[in-house]
A and B are shown apart, each in its own frame.
Chain A
C-alpha cells in the first residue's frame, strides 16, 4: 500500500502554540536560551523545506517501507474479544501490529525520518536521549544505516540497568554518555542532550517523543503519523469504516499521536490515551501526568502539563521505561484540554499481569508499555457494551526487551 500523504490538520500558530480558546491555555512554544535559537531555526526551516521536497519524501517513503517495514497488519484478536465479553456483547477488538517494525516499536519511524532529515540538512552527527534505549536503539540503527555519528545521553541510573536495547545501541556504534544530574533518569538525560545541542552546532538533536521546543513536537508527530495514516486506510479496507474506539499508550505521547493524529479532527473514533499509574496514583509513585493531576509548567523548551515537586519537575515512577516521563507532549495535552482525548490509567501490576496473559493466552510477547493499554482498553470496552462497535488497540512494541524483567515477575508469582 502506498503511504497516504501527510496532511496538516491541526497546525500550531506561528509561534508554535496550540491554544485552547475556551481556557486560554497555551501548549508548546519554544522556551530556550538564545544560544539555541539558531540551531532550532536551522532544523525548523529544514523540516519545512524537506516536507515540500518530493525527492526527499519519496526516498523516505521507500526506506520506511523497505527498511523499517511500516506496512504492518491489523490483526482481529479473537482472544481479546472473547476476554472482553464476546462479539455479541462488545463487538470486535483489533490490534495494530506496530511491534513488527524493524527494532520492534513505533520509535524507528520518527527516529529514521529525523536522521534522514539531518543528513539532508548536512549534519554529520546526531544527539539524542533515551530512558530504556528504545529510542536510543532506533536512532542508533538509523544512524548506522545513514552513516551518521551518534551520542546517546542516558541517566546514570537508567544506564546501570541491564538492557538488550543498550547493547544493541552499542553494537550499532553509538557513544553512550551517562548523565549524573538530578534524578539521573530520562528527564535530566533530555536536558543534557539539549545542552549538548547548544555546544555542538554541527550536530542535530533528535527527540524521542513529541516533546521539547518547537519544531520537535510538530516534526516528530508529522513523521510518526505514518502509522496512523496507514492504519486509517487499512482499517477502512478491512472493516468498511473507521473504528469506534482507538486506544494507545501515552508517556510523552509519540506512541499516541503516531496512530491517533489522522483522527484528531473527526468525530470517530473515540480516542483513549493510557498512562502508567505505577504503584497507584494515590501512592504518589506513578508516571501519570494527566491522571495524576499534572499542572501547567515549562520544561525542556515547551509549555505543557507537568508533574511538579514544588518549583521543580517531579520524578515519575513506572515499571515501563517507555512511560517514565513527568510531562506530556504539548499537542496531546492540548487535545486532552479540548476534550477530544480521554485519559485512562493502568497500574504496573495490572500491566504485568496483562503481559503474562498475552504471553500465555495470545501467544504474543508484547512490550510492557502495550500491556497498559490492553488492560485499560478491555476494561473500557466492557463498560461500553456495544456489539456494533469495532475497537482498535495500538500494540506499539515487542516485549523482547522486557523478558528479564518479566522472568523475575513470573518467578515471584509462583
Chain B
C-alpha cells in the first residue's frame, strides 16, 4: 500500500514537471518556426448556437487559438459591436453550460487540436460555480481563461488561478498602455501557462486602429520583467497588414471586433449556419494571408 502510494505520488510529480500547457506548447513551437499566431475572437452562440458552431469549426482552419466570449448582459468593458453580439447570443439562449457544450462539439467534429480560450466576466462564473467552472474547463479541454473584471486583489481571482493552474489550464491577464509598471509586473505574475494580453490603445475593443507605438513600448516593459512570457496583442487590428506589423513585436495577434462585425454583416444579409460560416471563412482567409 505504502509503496503504491509513493509510486503514484512520484509519477504525479514527474507528470507535472514535464507536462507543458497547451498554450505554452503552441507558442514554443510557433516561435521555433519563427511564426506568429493568429487568435480569433467570437462570442459563443452569436448569432445562435448552430451558426456559432459552424463559424467556430470554420475558424479552426485559420486560427491557431480561438477565443470564445461568454455572453454577459452587463459587460463593463466591451465595445458596442461585442455588446450587440452578447445580446444576440443571450436572446438565442446561450449560457455558460451551452458554451462548454458548443466548444466540446466543435472540438469533436473538427478533430483539430486548436486550443480554445474562454473570455468572460466573473458574474457568469460565480453563478455557474467556480469549482464547477474549473471542472468544466478541464473536461472540455479549455486551454486558457480570460476574466475581464477579475482584479488583481480579488479573492476570486486567486481562487480561480489556483484551480486552473492545478489542472494545467492557462490564465491570461490584460494590460493596457496606461497601466503602471508595478501593475504590469503583478499582472505578469498572475498570468499562468499562457500569454499576456496587451491592448494596443486605451479604450474599448475595436473602437480605434491598432497603435504600434504603444505595442512597442509595452512589449519593452513586459520583457523587462519576463524574458519568455508569450505576448498577444489585441484591440484595433482589422487588416492583414496590421497583423503583419504587430507580428514583428508579438507572439500573437488577436482579432475580435472585426470578425464579430462580419458576423453582424452576414446575418443582416440573411446568412446563417454553414452559409454564414463560409462567409466568415473567406474573410479570415484574406485576413490571415
Contacts and interface: CB of A to CB of B under 8 A. Distances in A.
Interface of A: 15, 26, 29-38, 181-183, 187-188, 191, 194-195, 198-199, 201, 295-301, 306, 308, 310-313
B249 interface: no
Contacts of A38: 178-180
Contacts of A201: 178, 202
B90 A30 contact: no
Contact of A198 (B87, B179, B183, B203): B203
Contact of B128 (A34, A299, A311): A311
A198 B77 contact: yes
A181 B95 CA distance: 18
Specify the main secondary structure of chain A where it touches its partner: mixed
Given A297-B127, A301-B149, A311-B95, A29 B154 contact: yes
Interface in B174-188: 174-176, 178-180, 183, 187
Residue of B72, B75, B124 most packed against chain A (CB within 10 A): B75
B126 A182 contact: no
Contact of A311 (B72, B175, B180): B72
Contacts of A308: 127
Given A36-B77, A298-B122, A311-B70, 19 more contacts: A15-B153, A26-B155, A31-B150, A32-B76, A34-B183, A181-B73, A181-B83, A182-B83, A182-B87, A198-B202, A199-B202, A201-B178, A297-B123, A298-B126, A311-B123, A312-B71, A312-B73, A312-B123, A313-B73
A38 B187 CA distance: 14
Interface string B136-174: 000000000000111101111000000000000000011
Question: In this complex, which of A30, A181, A295 has the most chain B Cβ atoms within 10 angstroms of its Cβ?
Answer: A181
A187 B126 CA distance: 19
B194 interface: no
Interface residues of B, number: 47
Interface of B: 70-80, 83-84, 86-87, 90, 95-96, 121-124, 126-128, 148-151, 153-156, 173-176, 178-180, 183, 187, 199, 202-204, 207
Given A34-B175, A35-B174, A299 B74 contact: yes
Contact of B183 (A37, A298, A311, A312): A37
A30 B153 contact: yes
A198 B149 CA distance: 13
Contacts of A295: 127
A217 B127 CA distance: 23
A299 B183 contact: no
